[in-house]
Amino acid sequence: MTSTTDSLRNPLLCDFNTPHQAAPFHLIRNEYYLPALRAAIDKARSVLEELKSDPEPPAFDNTISRLEEVTEEVTLISQIFFNLHAAETNDELELVAQEFEPILTDFYSDLNFDQQLFERIRTVYNSRNESGLTGEQLMLLEKTYTAFVRNGALLSDEDKQQLRELDQKLSTLSLEFSVNALKAVKAFALEITDEKDLEGLSDAVVHAAAECAARRGKPGSWVFTLDAPSYGPFMKYAVNRSLREQMFKARASVAYKDSGFDNSEIVKQIATLRHERARLLGYSSHADFVLEQSMAGSRENVYKLLEELYEASRPVAEKEIQEVADFQYELEGVHDLQRWDFSYYAEKMKKRRFDIDETTLRPYFQIENCTNGMFIVAQKLYNLSFRHTTDVPVYHPDVKTYEVHEETTGEYIGILYLDLFPRDGKRQGAWMASYKRQYVKGGVDHRPQVSIVCNFTPPVEGQPALLSFDEVSTLFHEFGHALHGLLSQCNYRTLSCTSVYRDFVELPSQVLENWLMEKECLDLFAVHYKTGEKISEEIVRHLKESATFLQGSVTLRQLSLGLLDMAWHDGNPASVSDVGDFEEQVMKRTELFPVVPNSNTSCSFGHIFRGGYSAGYYSYKWSEVLDADAFEFFKEKGIFNPEVAQSFRDNILSKGGSADPVLLYKRFRGKEASVDALLRRAGFISRHSGQ
């Protein structure tokens, strides 16, 4: 895409002239991105030449620290672009992305292969023991040197060219994967014209389906999609079994064997190219390459954790499946539990056993109360205040912005964007993203700007948005990531915020979910949207009792995804002839149901084929070990204990990647984490013994 836009008037290249220099979304148009990126790269190359031509001997300040400036503007523009590409894309932006990614990849390849620059970095690195640098500076030096080596700095010119070509191919393929998955999800719609087929669904879900139908030009009918707020309730509550089966099979086959959006070959190519890249860099597999930079440290440690959890969860999961199957027989007189039945009967069984379900809980979780509740939790733990502002530009009317301050001193902390409802152009799932990371430059602390993006149940006519408990947990999860970004107190952008090992980054997010099981926390915001009554002791008791419900099955599913990820990346995937057959063999050990024909996870597994979790999906379980152990510490001292909270802020949230995460956790907890806390929380071993 070309443009004659005058770069001097391009808002991405000017002073933003907005509160806190927030992104000027109200001024940005799609045609601005490529000129801005090219101009920022030209500027970066100029700064890089100044760095390399510095007549002074290479040192930390004139090389490592200065390198942070080289990519500053490129990073800013890229973060804005990619965040919007995920949250608010359109056909025009997709075309821009096809040019944007290769240009960016080329720039970073040029940077990583610049031998003169690398020699300066290596000179500083080799004298690090006599440098007198601080711990944070040593960490930045170590990570800078290692990053260049891991990106090919020590390769021959011929191998560097091969690596550059691999990176370009991977960039293009990962974009194609994402586009196909999004289009495949959006292409499906289940239209219901007979009201009888809505049996079991709540009024709110039915209203939302009617509104969806009206937006699609089908008034008088009801449309259900594969977006979570539509798909989830349908699978749990719709009585019509054949329609549940249709929905399930549509979701399970996204971007698989679809002539228009098939990701099968793309998945094989991505995995194969990653393997080739790792081998070129001297590693036996992509998994070895990734795990070198992780808390786990090796494939052996990953498999050890997955195996330990498998042995604990498999017998529990088998028992759970049988219980749900028996429950189906009790209700229907048949033993024929299929995948599309599991959520439906499990929800009914949960209701009977614990007298609790989504319909019981949703009225207590009006979305405005939930967002206010998480702000109160942050205030009680970390002395933060959140003030809604309309002065900061947004990229969509749904988005709300908040200025974050220290409550007692008024000190400015950062900006938080909330974008919580599904719409066309937003990809599936929930995530936290950074528009600006925190860093210190010229004595000025540049504060972060982060966003939480979700796809929650939207409000319907006559009723506010009422969240399921799972959605509230997701909100708190992403807010934990946001706090990790907002409370960063590092000197260097490369190390700040969530720039940590993948198997450490989920600790701040997952630990915050634990507060939702405590009455002391729920009393802060969980009130019935009609009566104003607080959530009762009885409901909270049932909520806690149900916390381990189907944990064996949930754990086994997570383990299956972790093992699938490792299978794609721990070895040479070039021999894979069929994605479906490969996946079926890998996941056979963790399956609890017969395989559904034409179903496939890999072809829409964005975490590992588009996101940053390749050879890292295990990290959710690794981080669960940490978060369960950490929350036990909070519970021992009090969930809002100021000393424990301050220690968590000082040692975890504020440090980013400026220190070894193993040491950071030990400073907070006083010891290394044990898997026992997670096994206790899941109900796999006794809470009163180690058995």
DSSP state of 436: E
Q: Give the model's pLDDT for residue 8.
A: 60
- Whether the CB-CB separation of 238 and 145 falls below 8 Å is answered with no
Domain boundaries, the chain: 7-154, 188-252
Using alpha carbons only, what angle is made at residue 211 by residues 190 and 240, rounded to the nearest 5 degrees? 35
pLDDT level of residue 691 (50, 70, 90 thresholds):
very low
Average pLDDT over residues 285-300: 96
412 bridge partner residues: 405
Q: How far is CA 409 from CA 175, 382, 385, 490, 649, in A?
A: 44, 12, 10, 20, 17
DSSP 501-567: -HHHHTHHHHHHHGGGG-HHHHTTT-B-TTT-PBPPHHHHHHHHHGGGTTHHHHHHHHHHHHHHHHH
The answer, yes or no, to whether residue 678 has pLDDT greater than 50, is: yes
- For the question of residue 478 being annotated catalytic, the response is yes
Q: Which two tokens stand for residue 568?
A: 């794609």
Distances 581 to 126, 521, 599, 606 between C-alpha atoms, Å:
49, 47, 11, 20
What's the CA gap between 609 and 600, in Å, rounded? Answer: 14
Q: Which CATH architecture has domain 7-154?
A: Orthogonal Bundle (1.10)
Structural contact between residues 524 and 374, judged by C-beta atoms closer than 8 angstroms: no
pLDDT in tens, 217-257: 999 999 999 998 999 999 999 999 999 999 999 999 999 98
Q: In which band, very low, low, confident or very high, does the pLDDT at 686 lie, cut at 50, 70 and 90?
A: low
Query: What average pLDDT does the chain have?
Result: 95
Q: What phi and psi values does residue 527 have, to the nearest 5 degrees?
A: -125, 145
pLDDT of residue 222: 98
Tens of pLDDT, residue by residue over 95-134, are 999 999 999 999 999 999 999 999 999 999 999 988 799 9
Residue 689 predicted with pLDDT over 70: no
For the segment 171-193, the average pLDDT, to the nearest whole number, is 94
> How large is the average pLDDT for residues 162-179?
95
User: Hey, what amino acid is at 85?
Assistant: H
> Active-site residue among 403, 478, 513, 632?
478
Query: Residue 658 in contact with residue 439, Cβ under 8 Å?
Result: no
> Maximum CA pair distance of the chain?
85
Give the number of other CB atoms < 10 A from CB of residue 207. Answer: 18
**Residue 449: φ, ψ to 5°:** -135, 115
pLDDT at 463: 86
- Exposed/middle/buried for residue 612 (C-beta within 10 Å: 0-12, 13-18, 19+): exposed
pLDDT (0 to 100) of residue 3: 41
Q: How big is the chain, counted in residues?
A: 691
Summarize pLDDT for 321-347 with one digit per residue, the tens.
999 999 999 999 999 999 999 999 999
pLDDT tens per residue, range 34-64: 999 999 999 999 999 999 999 999 999 999 9
Distance of CA 262 to the CA centre of its chain: 24
Question: Cα separation of 86 and 1, whole Å?
Answer: 20
- Residue that wins the pLDDT comparison between 674 and 121: 121
| Contact (CB, 8 A) for 170 and 274 | yes
Using CA atoms, how far apart are residues 134 and 551, in angstroms rounded to an integer?
Answer: 45
Tens-digit pLDDT profile for residues 406-453: 999 999 999 999 999 999 899 889 999 999 999 999 999 999 999 999
Whole-number pLDDT of residue 612: 87
Residue 526 has pLDDT above 60, yes or no: yes
